[in-house]
Structures are given as C-alpha cells and as structure tokens.
Amino acid sequence: MRLQELILLKPPLQPSELSDIELVDGVLGGVPGAVEAFYRRHSRLIYHCIRSRADRQDVDDIFQAFFERMMKRDYRILQLWQRGTSLPLYLSKVVRNFVIDFHRSRRRREEPVGGTMELEPLAGSQPEPMTAVTHLKELRKVGIRAWSVLEPRDRRLVCDRLHRDLDNDTMASRLKLSAGALRTAMSRAQSRYLLQVRSLAPEFFP
C-alpha cells in the first residue's frame, strides 16, 4: 500500500491529540470545531489567570470580554504567538495584560479629563514576540521586586541560597548562626520571599 493511501486511511486527529500549534492553526484557519477545542483546552487556565488577578465580581465579565475581543479581532492574539514557545505561559501574559487594561479602562471612566492616562494610547501597545527567555526575564523581575521588600537578613539569605549557591555551613558561619537556626531562618526567609512572589505573580500558585 502506498504512503498516500495510508495517509488517506488514517483517521482524523481528535482535538485532544492535537498539539497547541495545530490547534491554533485550526482556529486561525477557521477549521470547524477548532475554537471549541481551543476553549476546552485552555478556558480553565484563562479563567484561573483572570481569577488570580481580578476581583471576584469582575471575573466572569472579564472572561467573557476576553473571548469576545479575541473573536472580534479574528484571534489576532493567537497570530502573535511565537510557535515553539509555551502557549499556556503566553496566554497567561496576555490575560494579565487584558486584566490590567480592564482595570485601567474602568479607572479612566471614573477619572476626570486629563492626566498621564491620556498619553497611554500613544505609547504603542504592540506586544513583543515572547520566548522562553522573555517569560523567565519577567519572572526574574518579579523575583527582584519580591526580594527588594524583604528585610536585609532575609535578602542576604535568599541571595546566598538562590544565586550564590552557598552551602549551609558557609552561610551559618557568615551569619554567625547555628546550623539549626540557619535552617529555620532560611525556611522563613524563603517563605516570605515566595509570599511576595505570589502577590506579584499569583497565577503560578494554586
């Protein structure tokens, strides 16, 4: 049997078997059922990202508005997704920006005329192509912001552990702490650090 015949006999892929690239191509190409398949796969993640950043009473409205805008703009946001990178991470960033825009537009309606808000439309809102490095850079910025609000000793502990790779003995001698005290101090410092990270990037936490 020839290869072409084998291909013809192969049953069509189920939506659950499609990769994100195939799924997005289907949505952009107007393939029947592709939008529904995209919704089934990613709606929960989108809902979670909105829920983690918006007030509870706004979540449903933002969720619906997000999909309405996607449809209205012919899924342009999916055209901008760089193939090969993580679609869930990309969507999380898109949703985050959408929620921020939602809050800004609400504030704009409530603010009097004037102010720097009027300059924002001129600033250009073209999303830049996102890669794995971009995601990590952003998370790194989040980490720096979270680290910057810690107490000096916590900052030092977190820095020694995460970026200097110092072992416990070295850290204990530098801080003049016993091994047990260091473990407790380190555990608390990391917890406080993660609490700050969580407040800045809540979508990555359950």
Partner 1 sequence: MTARPSEGSGEQPETVDEVMLAVLSNRRRSAASLTPQQEQLLDDWVANRLAPDNAARAADLVKQNILAAERVLERRLQQAAERGPSVPENLAARVIAASSMSNAPSRSGRWRSLGRWRWTAIIGAVALASIFLLVGRPILQRAMQGEAPIQVAVATISNRDALFEPSDIRMRGTSPPQGQPGDQRFRDVEVPTSILRALLAAPAASRAIQPYLPNAGADEAQPLHIIVDAALKQRLEADPGRERIPVRIYDLAAQRNSDLRGIVGRVPASGKAYLLTLKP
- Judged by the rule CB under 8 A, the positions of this chain that interact with partner 1 are 30, 32, 35-36, 39, 43-45, 47-49, 51-52, 60, 63-64, 67-68, 71-72, 74, 85-86, 88-89, 92, 132-133, 135-136, 139-140, 142-143, 149-151, 153-154, 161-163, 187-188, 190-192, 194-197, 203-206
Name the residue nearer to partner 1 (CB basis): 124 or 206: 206
Handedness of CA 17, 206, 151, 182 (dihedral sign): negative
Please, which residue, 86 or 168, has the CB nearer to partner 1? 86
Nearest distance in Å: CB 205, partner 1? 6
- CB distance 50 to 97 below 8 Å: no
Give the whole-angstrom CA distance, residue 120 versus residue 140: 25
Q: How far is the CB of 61 from partner 1 (least distance, A)?
A: 10
Distance CA 49, CA 93 (A): 9
Shortest Cβ 141–partner 1 spacing (Å):
11
The smaller minimum CB distance to partner 1, of residues 13 and 195, is found at: 195
Query: Tokens 């939506």 — which residue?
Result: 15
Ramachandran angles phi, psi of 67, nearest 5°: -70, -35
Whether the CB-CB separation of 200 and 145 falls below 8 Å is answered with yes
CB atoms within 10 A of CB 10: 8
Least distance between partner 1 and beta carbon 124 (Å): 27
| Residues 156, 175 contacting (CB under 8 angstroms) | yes
**CB of 88 vs partner 1, minimal distance in Å:** 5
Q: How far is the CB of 12 from partner 1 (least distance, A)?
A: 18
174/205 with CB nearer partner 1: 205
Closer residue to partner 1 (CB): 111 or 183: 183
- Expressed in percent and rounded to 5, the helix, strand and coil fractions of the chain are 75, 0, 25
For partner 1, the closer of residues 12 and 32 by Cβ is 32
Q: How far is it, in rounded angstroms, from Cα 171 to Cα 160? A: 7
